[in-house]
Amino acid sequence: MKKIFVVLALTIAASVVSAALAFNALTGPYDKGSTEYEIVDIPKGSYIGKAAGILHENRLIRNELLFRVVAKLEGDPGIKAGRYKIFRSYSNSEILRLLEEGKVYNDSIAVTIPEGFEGYKIAERLEKLGLASKARFMELIENPKEFESRIPFIRGENLSSLEGYLFPDTYFFKKGTSEEDMIVEMLKRFEDVYGQSYQKRQLDMGKSLNEIITMASIIEREAKKDSERDLVSAVFYNRLKIGQRLQSCATVQYILMERKQNLTDADIQIESPYNTYKYEGLPPGPIASPGKKSIEAALYPANVDYLYFVAKKDGSHTFSRTYEEHLKAKAKNFAE
Summarize pLDDT for 230-273 with one digit per residue, the tens.
999 999 999 999 999 999 999 999 999 988 888 999 999 999 99
pLDDT of residue 182: 97
Mean pLDDT of the chain: 90
- Measuring CA to CA, which residue among 242, 254, 309 is closest to residue 286? 254
DSSP-assigned letters across all residues of 224-269: -SGGGHHHHHHHHHHHHHHT-----HHHHHHHHTS--SS--TTGGG
Q: Is 121 within 8 Å of 112 (Cβ atoms)?
A: no
At residue 19's C-alpha, the angle toward residues 17 and 20, to 5°, is 65
Share of the chain above pLDDT 70, in %: 93
Q: Rounded distance, CA 73 to CA 86, Å?
A: 21
Closest to 133 in 3D by CA, of 94, 175, 93:
175
> How confident is residue 83, by pLDDT bands cut at 50, 70 and 90?
confident
Q: Architecture of domain 21-101 in CATH?
A: 2-Layer Sandwich (3.30)
Closest CA to 46 of 96, 116, 110, 117: 96
Q: Is the pLDDT of residue 7 over 80?
A: no
Backbone angles phi, psi at 310, to 5 degrees: -135, 140
Angle between the N-to-C axes of helices 209-222 and 229-242, in degrees from 0 to 180, rounded to the nearest 10: 120
Rg (CA), the chain: 31
Residue with more model confidence, 110 or 303? 303
Average pLDDT over residues 92-118: 89
Q: Name the residue among 162, 167, 125, 122 with its Cα closest to residue 142.
A: 162
* Helix, strand, or coil (residue 271): coil
Q: How many CA atoms lie within 13 A of 22 on its CB side?
A: 8
Residues in the chain, overall count: 336
Where are the chain's structural domains?
21-101, 109-193, 223-305
pLDDT computed for residue 189 by the predictor: 95
pLDDT of 3 > 90? The answer is no
Distance CA 87, CA 248 (A): 57
The pTM of the full predicted model, rounded to 2 decimals, is 0.74
Mean of pLDDT values over 43-65: 89
